[in-house]
């Protein structure tokens, strides 16, 4: 069997990373990020193109310096549930914080989405990056890395346990015998751990996927280990081909070391393809997009996000980049380290750091359709990803990729020509986890 | 203007209070409570009948003795969001616990539902009745009444503050001036209270209703006071006409005393009408329904719910009702007090208490269509309710009411012949709350 490429769509609404001026695009409604019809349309377009999933990011802290798409957006689960009944095959991956939600609530909400969508739910587990988030949830100080990641691991374990509360045949609903539930097939978890105590059982039966698919974005050491232990999908950092190869190999190795099949963790890189009629036209457009996002004041604000919403406008922009490493300890440590390393290596001023803030976001997938398909094929063959999490500036850009590039990927046998399944697990080639209690029973019976 | 009656639908799925054997009805799918198409169909039927709202109840604790509908059901917000895009006018009221959710999350989720539904969201605030719920959320012991109700009041206040984070004109999205947000119109709440510290702002603009409608079910002294202070809709306990009159007058009085317009709190009683071709046929059916639900073992389990899931099967059923009042202190105090009072007044054994467990649920709305319409008119005129939260055993019963009773209520000018609005506030006759910050600005400008 040829290894198949997976494609997801990350709808940008009125803006996205490196595209913070997108709200000015006349083809995008100014309220796109809070308009459910925008998301339904994006999901249907992605489903028409046979993409694996719609991927909804999230955050829970803003101030007035935050970019457009952060300021005003729908809560991901409410959004995806509305999208579910207007689609049939596409996966629905929503971001939710394990730091600021109870496992019992998350288990119910993602389990419900999996029932509502007929088996298409995915949970992108985040630990919350913005240090200010803590003050929206009653905590004086953001939890440190070790606590957040320990909590994330335990949350996933608890939630998977709750999803197993009922065995698949728990409800005979036998009218003659007057038996709705077989009580032997309902199981309390009785979890007592370092971060959580949760008795269970969950008041919801196993969903079509058994467990919704777990996504994660592991960049730090803690994040990579969490991914290796529990993730089935990864939103990878990207970078150069060599960076992506190294990350891919590292995650697959850690996953194997954790005793799991490395093929059961699908690594997606971010891809914002720029497709043009010619390579040069596409490259020119990519340069324009990059330049367009060089709003100095806004990028000063964005820079602060990795350092606990620190106000960089207080510094002389033409002095050397200030010593702020300590501010990132609890927040965007990995992103901050990258910024500091770049500033130190280049001896950059604050202004130079801000002006080159988005340079690392340059997509490798720029060119005429054939060039983009070639690059994707080359990167895919080089072991850099299992899938791409695609983002487009607008529907015209989405159409250029879907109509121009996807057919080439299909011709080469890299991408599906029809859905393999109507569940996200089925399309990603992930197994349905056995119910832990049913498995025990099999052992007992054997 | 004639005072208008409001009608809501409380879909029972595979069971409801006093109808715990409903899963045996061949016209109801055994998985109705987890089938989104069931809820979409119920909502569309209710909307076709011009009902004000779909009302979704909830709970977060079960064990194997719990009745069918509790065991396995969708999380209310995920459910209602999916229903929202398949309906246009009907309100969508979801139950969520202020005891086991963070205000920031609730504000986002109900605000998102209000955006997705175009202004039809309502929040039924509950403090969680099952004492076992605490152990699904890491707490050894259920919070006591005073703490739960203090927390509920503060949660509503915080959430309303978060819903005001943006003034209505906060997003000029002015391309020429390069201004997406007017930062002067984004407000942090900076709440520090007894139960919560929440900085804000919320990352979501004001929704079409300004604030989703707040419902509450206030029976205890604490519940009635909470309702008087913040509720705009009440799910009232019902009982005899005199009970309902007394409750209605009490809530309206307390609301006025709290400085609010008593017309801005709409009191709904539970109504499970039984409509037949003749009065006698309907009465006979009502008796059969009551008898059908007299499953002794199940009702022993249900009885325990008010007393912290206490196991009553340990007692001699023919001995006097045991002394268990202390078990209800933190849980279903009001319901438990009613049970104990009845047992004491009648000198009942445990068996007699169980066998008459559902008697108080007998609906006043039993008879031929004209009799039911007459009774509703009489009760409505007597000041017992502003609306009825209707529950039906199945679609045939729903149709008997909609086709037989609703036209009579319309002829008499009691019920609408078309929707007044496409928001829940509009149909309930509730004002859109002013944004606290915009109001301040008006005062400053004046």
- Give the DSSP letter string of B71-120: HS---HHHHHHHHHTT-SS-EEEEEEESSSS-HHHHHHHHHHHHHHTTS-
Chain B residues with beta carbon closer than 8 angstroms to that of A174: none
Burial of A146 (0-12, 13-18, 19+ CB in 10 A): exposed
Chain B residues close to A108, C-beta within 8 Å: 60, 75
* Chain B, nearest residue to A28 by Cα: B173
pLDDT 10s digit of each residue in chain A, 446 long?
478 999 999 999 999 888 888 999 999 999 999 999 999 999 999 999 999 999 999 999 999 989 899 999 999 999 999 999 999 999 999 999 999 999 999 999 999 999 999 999 999 999 887 888 999 998 777 788 888 999 999 999 999 999 999 999 999 999 999 999 999 999 999 999 999 999 999 999 999 999 999 999 878 888 999 999 999 999 998 889 999 999 999 999 999 999 999 999 999 999 999 999 999 999 999 999 888 877 788 788 778 887 878 888 899 989 999 988 888 776 677 778 888 888 888 888 988 888 877 766 678 999 999 999 999 999 999 999 999 999 999 999 999 999 999 999 999 999 999 999 999 999 999 999 999 998 665 554 43
pLDDT for residue A446: 39
pLDDT tens digits along B24-43: 999 999 999 999 999 999 99
Averaged pLDDT of chain B: 92
Region B292-302 average pLDDT: 80
Residue B31: its chain A contacts at CB < 8 A?
Answer: 171
What are the C-alpha distances in Å from A391 to residues A13, B139, B230, B349? Answer: 10, 42, 43, 68
Query: Residue range B88-115: average pLDDT?
Result: 97
The share of chain B scoring above pLDDT 90, in percent, equals: 73
Query: With an 8 Å Cβ cutoff, are A82 and B82 in contact?
Result: yes
Among candidates B36, B75, B136 on the partner chain, residue whose Cβ is nearest the Cβ of A199: B136
User: Residue B173 is encoded by which pair of tokens?
Assistant: 């999205």
Q: Does A218 touch chain B (CB under 8 A)?
A: no
Separation between Cα atoms, residue B171 and residue B181, nearest integer Å: 5
- Which A residues 116-155 touch B at CB under 8 Å? 116, 132, 135-138
How far apart are alpha carbons B163 and B154 in whole angstroms?
A: 14
**Which chain B residue shows the shortest CA-CA distance from A158?**
B136
pLDDT mean over B260-282: 96
Q: Which of A35, A78, A171 minimises the CB distance to B30?
A: A171
Q: Does B194 touch chain A (CB under 8 A)?
A: no
Q: Which residues of B touch A190 (CB under 8 A)?
A: none
- What pLDDT, on the 0 to 100 scale, is given for residue A152? 95
What's the confidence (pLDDT) of residue A21? 87
On whether any CB of chain B is under 8 Å from the CB of A204, the answer is yes
Mean pLDDT of B349-362: 79
Mean per-residue pLDDT for B135-157?
A: 89
Q: How far apart are CA B202 and CA B385, in angstroms?
A: 35
The pairs formed by A342-348 with CB atoms below 8 angstroms and a separation of 24 or more are A347/A320, A348/A320, A348/A321
CB contact under 8 A, A136 and B104: yes
Tokens representing B104?
Answer: 């920031």
Interface of A with B in 385-424 (CB under 8 A): none
Minimal CA separation from A170 to chain B, in Å: 11
Query: What is the pLDDT averaged over residues B70-87?
Result: 98
**Residues β-bridged to residue A192:** A197
Would the CB atoms of A100 and B100 count as touching at under 8 Å? no
Domains of chain A: 6-280+361-442 (3.20.20.30), 295-357 (no CATH)
Q: Which residues of A touch B34 (CB under 8 A)?
A: 115, 204-205
Contact by Cβ (8 Å): B351, B318: yes
Question: For B189-202, what is the mean pLDDT?
Answer: 97
Residue B446 has pLDDT above 80, yes or no: no
Rounded Cα distance between A275 and A13, Å, is 20
Instruction: Tell which residue, B8, B76, B93, has the closest CA to residue A81.
Output: B76
Cβ distance A90 to A53 under 8 Å? yes
- For B264-298, the DSSP string reads GSEEEEEE--EE-SSHHHHHHHHHHHHHHT--HHH
**Taking the mean position of all CA atoms in its chain, how far away is CA A270?**
9
Report the candidate in A386, A364, A377 with the shortest Cα–Cα distance to residue A268. Answer: A386
**What pLDDT does B128 receive?**
82
Question: A421: which residues sit within 8 A by CB, 6+ positions away?
Answer: A89, A427
Please state, in angstroms and rounded to a whole number, the distance separating the CA atoms of residues B156 and B161.
8
Q: Does A344 touch chain B (CB under 8 A)?
A: no
More confident residue, B377 or A128: B377
Q: With CB atoms and an 8 Å threshold, state whether B78 touches A112.
A: yes
Give the residue from A112, A158, A161 showing the smallest Cα distance to A440. A161
Establish, for the pair of chains A and B, how many residue pairs have beta carbons separated by less than 8 Å: 188
CB A361 within 8 A of CB A272: yes
- CB of B292 within 8 Å of a chain A CB? The answer is no
β-bridge partners, A266:
A233
CB-CB neighbors (< 8 A) of B88 in chain A:
none
Select the residue from A41, A123, A138, A192 to test the B interface by mutation, using most B Cβ atoms within 10 A.
A138
Q: Under a CB-based contact definition with an 8 Å cutoff, are residues B44 and B84 in contact? A: no
Q: What does DSSP say about strands B197-198 and B191-192: parallel, antiparallel, or unpaired?
A: antiparallel
The alpha carbon of residue B163 is apart from the nearest alpha carbon of chain A, in Å, by 12
Query: Does B203 contact A73 at a Cβ distance shorter than 8 Å?
Result: yes
Does B81 contact A78 at a Cβ distance shorter than 8 Å?
yes
**pLDDT reported for residue B445:** 44
Instruction: Using a CB–CB cutoff of 8 Å, tell me whether A30 touches chain B.
Output: yes
Q: How confident is the model at residue B360 (pLDDT cuts 50, 70, 90)?
A: low
User: Nearest C-alpha of chain A: how many angstroms from B52?
Assistant: 21
- Which residues 310-329 of A have a C-beta within 8 angstroms of B? none
As beta bridge partners, residue B166 has B186
């Amino acid at each position: 069997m040829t290894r198949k490429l997976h494609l997801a769509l990350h709808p940008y609404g009125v803006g996205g990373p490196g595209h913070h001026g997108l709200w000015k695009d006349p083809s995008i409604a100014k309220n796109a990020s809070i308009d459910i019809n925008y998301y339904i349309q994006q999901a249907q377009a992605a489903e028409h193109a046979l993409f694996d999933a719609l991927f909804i990011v999230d955050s829970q802290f803003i101030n007035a310096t935050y970019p457009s798409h952060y300021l005003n957006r729908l809560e991901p689960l409410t959004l995806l549930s509305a999208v579910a009944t207007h689609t049939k095959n596409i996966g629905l991956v929503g971001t939710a914080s394990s730091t600021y939600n109870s496992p019992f609530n998350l288990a119910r909400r993602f389990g419900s989405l999996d029932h509502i969508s007929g088996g298409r739910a995915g949970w992108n587990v985040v630990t919350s990056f913005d240090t200010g988030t803590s003050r929206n949830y009653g905590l004086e100080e953001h939890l440190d890395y070790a606590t957040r990641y320990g909590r994330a691991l335990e949350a996933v374990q608890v939630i998977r346990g709750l999803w197993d509360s009922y065995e698949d045949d728990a409800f005979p609903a036998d009218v003659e015998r007057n038996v709705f539930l077989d009580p032997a097939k309902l199981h309390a978890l009785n979890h007592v751990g370092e971060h959580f105590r949760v008795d269970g059982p969950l008041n919801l039966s196993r969903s079509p996927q058994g467990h919704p698919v777990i996504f994660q974005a592991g960049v730090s050491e803690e994040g990579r280990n969490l991914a290796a232990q529990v993730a089935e999908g990864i939103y990878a950092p990207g970078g150069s081909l060599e960076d992506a190869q190294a990350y891919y190999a590292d995650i697959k190795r850690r996953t194997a070391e954790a005793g799991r099949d490395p093929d059961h963790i699908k690594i997606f890189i971010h891809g914002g393809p720029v497709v043009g009629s010619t390579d040069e036209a596409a490259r020119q457009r990519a340069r324009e997009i990059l330049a367009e996002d060089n709003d100095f004041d806004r990028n000063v604000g964005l820079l602060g996000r990795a350092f606990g919403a620190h106000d960089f406008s207080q510094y002389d922009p033409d002095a050397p980049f200030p010593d702020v490493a300590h501010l990132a300890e609890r927040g965007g440590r990995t992103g901050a380290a990258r910024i500091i390393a770049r500033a130190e290596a280049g001896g950059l001023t604050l202004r130079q750091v801000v002006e080159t803030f988005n340079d690392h976001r340059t997509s490798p997938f720029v060119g005429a359709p054939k060039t983009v398909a070639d690059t994707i094929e080359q990167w895919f063959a080089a072991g850099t990803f299992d899938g791409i999490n695609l983002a487009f500036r607008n529907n015209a850009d989405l159409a250029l990729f879907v109509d121009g590039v996807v057919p080439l990927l299909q011709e080469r046998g890299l991408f599906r020509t029809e859905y393999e399944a109507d569940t996200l697990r089925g399309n990603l080639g992930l197994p349905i986890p056995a119910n832990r209690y049913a498995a025990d029973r099999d052992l007992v019976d054997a």
